[in-house]
């Protein structure tokens, strides 16, 4: 099994963080992993994306040109990376900020009101975790509880309050993808 994922959004939306969390969790579960970040000219507000490759075999290259999955946190990211997703691939998108559903019939799509749900939970910054929860459920790549177990390792300085919000955000995203 090899899963290639692109996670994309504006700087400040936590795309690098969920990419790192996903990669770290897969690695602790014995998978081969690569994580490669890419930033636009400015970090906050500029474009940001990362690619994550998770495999049972050694990974030859961290470059992802045709991802199996895309997590898009904003419209420019969806527009940029959607054409590259493999037929039959998965697209999880933040429908709070993306007002048009992907127009490809050869993909599985999951619309998640990530920003709205995160705001309801008390921290709009948890939108990334809502999207990650939806991706984990829809892909079956890694169990969400494994990500929860690694959250404190990857985010050691996060308060208990914010950790609880992030865990709930993962759970809510996962629930949305079950439907």
pLDDT in tens, 127-168: 999 999 999 999 999 999 999 989 988 888 888 999 999 999
**Distance, CA of 170 to CA of 96 (rounded, Å):** 16
Residue 147, Ramachandran bin (φ over 0: left; ψ between -120 and 50: alpha; else beta): alpha
By DSSP bridging, strand 2-10 and strand 47-55 are: antiparallel
State what percent of residues in the chain have pLDDT above 70. Answer: 96
Residues in the chain: 179
Sign of CA dihedral 168, 135, 37, 61: positive
Q: What is the pLDDT of residue 41?
A: 63
Domains of the chain: 2-178 (3.40.920.10)
| pLDDT for residue 44 is more than 70 | no
Q: What is the 3-state secondary structure (H, E, C) of the chain?
A: CEEEEEEEEECCCCHHHHHHHHHHHHHHCCCEEEEEEEECCCCCCCEEEEEEEEECCCCCCCCCCCCCEEEECCHHHHHHHHHHCCCCCEEEEECCCCCCCCCCCCCEEEEECHHHHHHHHCCHHHHHHHHHHHHHHHHCCCCHHHHHHHHHHHCCCCCHHHHHHHHHHHHHHHHHHHC
**pLDDT tens track for 68-97:** 999 999 999 999 999 999 999 999 999 999
CB 38 within 8 A of CB 48: yes
């Amino acid at each position: 099994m090899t899963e290639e994922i692109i996670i994309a959004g504006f700087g400040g939306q936590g795309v690098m963080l969920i990419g790192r969390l996903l990669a770290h969790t897969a690695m602790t579960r014995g998978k081969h992993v690569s994580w490669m970040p890419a930033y636009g000219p400015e970090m906050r507000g500029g474009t940001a994306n990362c690619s994550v490759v998770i495999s049972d075999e050694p990974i030859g290259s961290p470059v992802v040109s045709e991802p199996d999955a895309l997590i898009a946190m904003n419209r420019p990211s969806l527009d940029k990376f959607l054409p590259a997703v493999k037929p039959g691939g998965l697209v999880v998108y933040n429908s709070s900020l993306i007002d048009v559903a992907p127009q490809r019939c050869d993909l599985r799509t999951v619309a998640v009101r990530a920003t709205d749900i995160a705001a309801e939970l008390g921290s709009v910054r948890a939108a990334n975790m809502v999207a990650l929860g939806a991706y984990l459920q829809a892909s079956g790549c890694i169990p969400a509880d494994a990500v929860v177990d690694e959250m404190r390792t990857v985010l050691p300085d996060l308060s208990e309050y914010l950790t609880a919000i992030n865990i709930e955000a993962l759970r809510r995203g996962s629930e949305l993808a079950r439907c």
